[in-house]
Amino acid sequence: MDVSSLIEGVLAGDRRAVARAISMVEDGARGLAELSAGLYPHTGQAYTIGLTGSPGVGKSSLAQHLVKQARERNHAVAVLAIDPTSPFTGGALLGDRLRMQEHATDRGVFIRSMATRGHLGGMALAAPEAMRILDASGKDVVMVETVGVGQAEVEVATATDTAVVVVSPGWGDAVQVAKAGILEVADVFVVNKADKEGAQEAARDLRHMLKMGPASDWLPPVVLTSTVSGEGIDELWDAIEGHRKHQESTGDVLQKRRDRLLNEVEGMAAQEFRQLTRGALEADSELARSLEQREVDPYRAAAILLEWASTPDPHTGS
């Protein structure tokens, strides 16, 4: 399949074309620029939701419940699970199959996990590209779910219209949330496993800490959920909808989307620049040797790389 047929397929909502296009992002394939050019004019319709939280708090189950909520409201919905699963467990594919089973015959649902090791920009650049493919394919709601709760994962999950941070009573208390630096970036908090001991306390602590934070026109709601009993899922959907309406009324949603896009383009250009200058720093290059010998320090070496890149022909330039 060539890229132009692939673009047609994605725009028609063809599942195999969408899967194929996301694999291209995953692998950092050559045709990505052409794919992006063809799809980009057809993006901007989907509302995006990010889900982040430590491994084991129940993000995937929550995503499943949110898919049901979306379908009940007749929204076409996609879930993108950013999954750095080790190549020797093969968990991603197995997980996909399990997740898809329930929705196998529903053409309004697309679930896909994505490893990002082939993409040179890592998950920060791969995720928004994949989300645009899902947007262009006609999904009304695109959810992105990360494994883990580090800086990169939080950046990916908050590069969405509504960022949902999930904790569980077993995971640790609200102080851990503060330590992880995710208190300020959440639009909605979920305390999952609401049936477990300590859930009410975790929710209370979170609410307390959020109130101590800087004043803002949006105070993130804290929702208690149980993915076993289904408790709180309606409230979670309402909280997300509430945030959507709030920022659509203020115009913040468009402003945030523009800022994210500019930031992403800067990151893409920096990544390309990195590729361009790679040759100058090969292991046997003079610059690498000077660095190793400690004749040139890292800052100076970086400055030399920048000069090298802006010389019209780097191979003959001074």
Question: Residues 149 to 168: which contact a second copy by CB under 8 A?
Answer: 149-154
Binding of a second copy by 306 (CB under 8 A): yes
Two tokens, residue 30:
């050559």
Give the span between the Cα atoms of 180 and 130, in whole angstroms: 26
Task: Count interface residues toward a second copy (CB under 8 A).
Answer: 81
- Which residue of 13, 28, 108, 148 would you call a contact of a second copy, by CB under 8 A? 148
Is 302 an interacting residue with respect to a second copy (CB under 8 A)? Answer: yes
- DSSP class of residue 195 equals T
Out of 89, 105, 216, 316, name the contact with a second copy by CB under 8 A: 89
Taking the least distance from each CB to a second copy, the nearer of 144 and 183 is 183
Q: Tell the residue number behind the tokens 């190793």, with chain if given.
A: 292
Which range touches a second copy (CB under 8 A), out of 64-72, 121-129, 195-203, 227-235?
Answer: 121-129
User: By C-beta, is 230 or 317 nearer to a second copy?
Assistant: 317
Contact 165, 94 (CB under 8 A): no
**Using the rule CB under 8 A, is 120 a contact of a second copy?**
no
Helical residues (DSSP H) of 146-251, grouped into ranges: 151-158, 174-179, 199-212, 233-250
Find the binding residues for a second copy in span 47-66 (CB under 8 A).
Answer: 54-56
| Residues forming beta bridges with residue 51, ordered by sequence position | 145, 164
Q: Which CB, 22 or 233, lies closer to a second copy?
A: 22
Task: Verify binding: residue 72, a second copy, rule CB under 8 A.
Answer: no
The C-alpha atoms of residue 29 and residue 265 are separated, in whole angstroms, by: 18
Report yes or no: 107 and 172 within 8 Å, Cβ to Cβ. no
Least distance CB 41 / a second copy (angstroms): 5
28 touches a second copy (CB under 8 A): no
Q: What is the DSSP letter of 189?
A: E
Q: Write the interaction track for a second copy spanning residues 194-223; mark x where CB under 8 A is met and - where it is not.
A: ---------------x--xxx---------
Q: Is the dihedral of CA 272, 273, 274, 277 positive or negative?
A: positive
